[in-house]
Structure 1
């Protein structure tokens, strides 16, 4: 058995990671390959037995049951056209405002985030519905595209977030507290988006639907509220059961999955084809996430056994700099990694290293966890590999170019960074609900 120097281990780890990324190797395969190679050469061939053991342990963890169930819920809601019903409601209420359709899009994405737990569902659904509607009414591409991409990213911050489940397990942080802590920052970011769009509408009515605003009567608005009934009931059922302690996160995910089937049935949109497509999407996304988790878990176990994580922790804590500079440095690393890596992969690689350092520096782990998740949310928008950018490109009309999508998200990324700064200056935005409820 060869025990490698922690510095050498760290250099090889990140060197191979960079090489595989440049070669275009999928992150799950890259992490698994690095894990097997490093365990074999720097630990022991016998230690390879750990890989299937950790894989089985991870896949059979009760906490991880919530991931496929929340993904299934999102897939069912998307195919039940819940987003279309919500859009019709928001069009009645906000269609008379400059920038109103973009504002309504943010509101819908916020509601969808509180139902679905993943980013892609809202981005794809709203991309198919809202882009043609906004462009037809004279909205600029940057407003139409940016509002959908940014609004869709709220799905990993506002509970029930699948990303928070992974982070909570890896970082050994209460998922319930993370859910409570993510609610107000999610609403803060949503409010910043809405304020920005209203200001743009006031300053630039010519690209904010100002030429073809439609006003609706009070009766039409009230009738349209029926589109909110099922989404609100589903949100109350899932989030209410978690935050009141009636159900665990995994149990609440089952409530959400069953509720999404019931919602589709009530709307008359449930058939075998819809159910099969939702199951297929759930299988694909769940397998992708679990392979990343399995590979990264094996790698982080090896990395910890070699003492490399303790070395990094010691080096950081020995730095004679302000602890806030260390925190900003960590968030900057997450921002850069978000441009290149999958969210789950970033969590599995960095959380075991960052969280002990944050705790030793005296920061609240729940507070840091929400900042971490916001940076992952930003990663869904940052070029060149932000997921929401590609989701949007897949459903956008042919005249929309990738450069249009890249430009559209820049103001929203800046607003998210402003939200991070606000949450750092006023930590109670994150901590008030976890402290009150737990």
Structure 2
């Protein structure tokens, strides 16, 4: 069978299997095993266990559970609420300081936790009731938190970037740096829209906030600054050549856990055990998907599907940007139905040779892909962040939350366009810190 036709058949079968309700990892294993048996014989199954475990035989993978423990330790405390309070007190004189405080808190907490749902929950529990009490429109109150929560998979340290780096054998350090300025760009666009929407609502009183004494401003900082210092320390250690990402993540995880115990009195052994238990479950889920995706990638390569698609794309007389638009549409649609990690692990083996053949930078593309995944987090039918916000404010309809999130989706699309026009937004920092990629 022609590899391109076979690739189409694999894609259709994969979608059908995943829509059947099985887990992503199991679905990938079923599809891989089925096509290998049909087109390569039963003996190909003998290689599957070896490929499965070989994909997990990577020191870089240790950073995933460590960063997850790091984020879980922070998410289990009042760090999110304290971060929100600190920003609100310090930005009180800034027009629209409350909504800016929420988005700023989302950005910082996302950098600390690396989790979009955790960011929505931690900041939303404080921010949404406060904005509603002050009279902010419900769409702005919920939409800003839902969109701000998506920053968790872009701003470093990001588990999503680690997964992309492992799947494409790309430098994780460069990927982390590539997410910094695009993350700040998104924060700026989110803030600009929130301020405009608030002003357009006609209630100018919303653009002013209460006043705080200097004592009130400083008293909250000791509970927030240690966590921020750890993030800065993690990034410095990684890029200063002091330690590898995995070693840095391990130290960061231990420090976050110790600070949670020291500052927030997390003495209950059961709570600490719960943090480790939940982190283990999430880590195993991600690692299972990575291993299954390795088998899936082997199947695609063994049946010459990946190579044939890359060759076919190379022979097409198509403008590379037309191709990039098509890839973005595909990623957005995939993000509507699947979690970011699954999309990256499934799509990266196919898309990487295509984008490199078309002349695009894999580091730059990682940022484009991640922003597309952010769109999926606040878009139906899955839209995980929408349901988290709905759980925080159940009296606000899901339709209102969705309508409030749509303008932020437009902000993300604008960010993608700006990155396409000015790719240096993503590539300049990695090159400045680590030198040109070889």
Normalising to structure 1: TM-score of the pair? Answer: 0.94
Range moving further from structure 2, 380-389 or 186-195: 380-389
1:16-35 superposed Cα distances (whole Å, 9 cap, x missing partner) = 12222443333222112112
Are residues 1:72 and 2:69 paired? yes
For structure 1, list consecutive stretches of 5 or more residues without a partner in the other structure: none
Q: Distance in 2 between matches of 1:294 and 1:48?
A: 15
- The structure 2 residue matched to 1:373, chosen from 357, 370, 374, is 370
Q: CA distance change for structure 1 residues 289 and 18 in 2, over 3 Å: closer, same or farther? A: same
1:158 deviates by 0.7
Q: Distance in 1 between matches of 2:133 and 2:271?
A: 30
Residue in 1 aligned with 2:213? 217
Residue in 2 aligned with 1:139? 136
Are residues 1:252 and 2:248 paired? yes
CA contact (8 A) 1:114 1:158 kept: yes
- The structure 1 residue matched to 2:13, chosen from 16, 20, 24, is 16
Range moving further from structure 2, 196-205 or 321-330: 196-205
1:219 deviates by 3.6
1:240 deviates by 1.3
Range moving further from structure 2, 417-426 or 18-27: 18-27
Indicate the SS of the match to 2:206: coil
RMSD of the TM alignment (CA)?
Answer: 1.9
Q: Distance in 2 between matches of 1:93 and 1:276?
A: 35
- The structure 1 residue matched to 2:198, chosen from 201, 207, 217, is 201
Indicate the SS of the match to 1:24: coil
1:334-365 superposed Cα distances (whole Å, 9 cap, x missing partner) = 11111111212211221112111222222222
Q: Distance in 2 between matches of 1:229 and 1:135?
A: 28
1:311 deviates by 1.3
Residue in 2 aligned with 1:344? 341
Residue in 1 aligned with 2:424? 428
Range moving further from structure 2, 16-25 or 100-109: 16-25
1:418 deviates by 0.6
CA contact (8 A) 1:98 1:209 kept: no
1:71 deviates by 0.9
Are residues 1:192 and 2:154 paired? no
Residue in 2 aligned with 1:311? 308
1:161 deviates by 0.4
CA contact (8 A) 1:205 1:211 kept: no
CA contact (8 A) 2:143 2:404 kept: yes
- The structure 1 residue matched to 2:101, chosen from 100, 104, 107, is 104
Q: CA distance change for structure 1 residues 50 and 95 in 2, over 3 Å: closer, same or farther? A: farther
- The structure 2 residue matched to 1:419, chosen from 415, 422, 429, is 415
Range moving further from structure 2, 214-223 or 415-424: 214-223
For structure 2, list consecutive stretches of 5 or more residues without a partner in the other structure: none
What aligned pairs does 1:355-374 form with structure 2 within 5 A after superposition? Answer: 355-374=352-371
Q: Number of residue pairs matched? A: 433
CA contact (8 A) 2:77 2:260 kept: yes
Q: Distance in 2 between matches of 1:424 and 1:11?
A: 28
Q: Distance in 1 between matches of 2:239 and 2:207?
A: 44
Are residues 1:261 and 2:253 paired? no
1:79 deviates by 0.9
Residue in 2 aligned with 1:172? 169
Residue in 1 aligned with 2:46? 49
Range moving further from structure 2, 87-96 or 192-201: 87-96
- The structure 1 residue matched to 2:397, chosen from 374, 397, 401, is 401
Q: Distance in 1 between matches of 2:270 and 2:414?
A: 43
- The structure 1 residue matched to 2:124, chosen from 124, 127, 142, is 127
CA contact (8 A) 2:96 2:208 kept: no
What aligned pairs does 1:277-316 form with structure 2 within 5 A after superposition? Answer: 277-316=274-313
